[in-house]
Amino acid sequence: MTTADHKDLTIDLGVLIAEPADVYHAKAKDFLSAHALNEFRRCPLLYRKKELGLVPERDTTAYLMGRAAHTLILEGRQRYEREFAVGGPINPRTGQPFGSQTKAFAEWAERQGRPVLSDTQAATIEQMAAAVQEHIYARELLAEGVAEGVVRCEYGGHRCQARIDWINPVESRGIVDLKTADEIDSFELSMRAFGYLHQVAFYRALVSQASGHVLPVHIVAVEKREPYRCGVWQVTPEVLDQAQRENEEAMTDLRRCRETGDWFTRYESMRLVDRL
C-alpha cells in the first residue's frame, strides 16, 4: 500500500448500525449470521439442535482471549479496560495472586461483573496488539474505519445480519476480518477448515446488498504465543465469488430443511476412500 491509495474513492458507512455485542447476539434467533450459516454448511442437524437450545455454545478460554484481543486491537484501550477486568486477589500469606482455580479467585471474579483476564493472559493480549500495530499492512488497514459495525438486510431469502470486525472507508481496503491463531504457518488451511472464507464472503454480500458497494476483503491474523507473528491476506474476488455461491446454495438448503423438517448430517451416503 502507498499513500497514493488514499486517492481511491471512499464509501459511505452510513449503512452500518452501532450496537453493543449483547444486543446483536440477542437478535440471533431472528437473523441468519455467517457463524450460523457455517454451522449449517457443516451439519444441518447440529445447526438445528443449537437453534433449539439443545446444544449450548461453549465459552472457552480461547474465545475469551479472542474477544479481548478484538476489543483492544479494534475498539481501543478505553473500551478494553471497561469491558475486561485484569488480575485477581492477592494471597496475604504468600503475597502472590490466588490461582485462577481457587475459590478466592472465583469469588473475586464474580464481584467484577465482567470477564476476567489473568495477568498472563493480559500480557499476551498486549503482545498481540503490538504485533498488529507493527505490521505495516495491518496498521494501514486499521488506520481508519468503523469497528464492529452491524449490517442487516434481506439476502438469499433470509433475514441476515453481520457484525463486521472492521470496515475501512477507503474503497481499495474495505472489509477487514481479524483472527487470532496458535500459529500462522498453517493459517491458510485454517481459513478453509473453519469457514473463514465463507464468513467474509457473507459479509461482503450483505454490505453489497445494503450499500451497493462490492468491497475487497482482507484477513489479518495474529499469533497468541511467541513470537506473536502477524500476517495479512487479501482474498481474491474469484475465491469470494465461489464461497458466495456455496453460501447461497446452503441458504437454499436451509429453506428446504425448514419446509420439510429433514435436518440431515451430510454423512448419510456411503463415502469412498480412493487415495492415501
User: What pLDDT, in 10s, does the model give residues 139-192?
Assistant: 999 999 999 999 999 999 999 999 999 999 887 899 999 999 999 999 999 999
For residue 218, the number of C-alpha atoms closer than 13 Å in the C-beta half-sphere is 20
Mean pLDDT of the chain: 91
Average pLDDT in the 71-89 region? 93
Topology annotation, domain 7-58+135-260: Lambda Exonuclease; Chain A (3.90.320)
Give yes or no for residue 3 having a pLDDT over 50. Answer: no
Q: Does the structure show a pLDDT above 70 at 213? A: yes
What is the residue extent of each domain of the chain?
7-58+135-260
User: Cα–Cα distance between 133 and 175 in angstroms, integer?
Assistant: 18
- CA–chain centroid gap for 275, Å, is 34
| Confidence label for 11 from pLDDT (cuts 50, 70 and 90) | low
Tell me the CA end-to-end span of the chain in Å, nearest whole number.
42
Sorted by sequence, the CB contacts under 8 Å of residue 137 that are 6+ apart come out as: 1, 218, 232
Question: How is residue 113 written as a grid cell?
Answer: 461483573
pLDDT in tens, 33-54: 999 999 999 999 999 999 999 9
- pLDDT for residue 6 is more than 90: no
DSSP secondary structure letters along 81-108: HHH-EE---B-TTTSSBPPTTSHHHHHH
Amino acid residing at 102:
T
Cα distance between residue 52 and residue 39, in whole Å? 14
What's the confidence (pLDDT) of residue 2?
A: 36
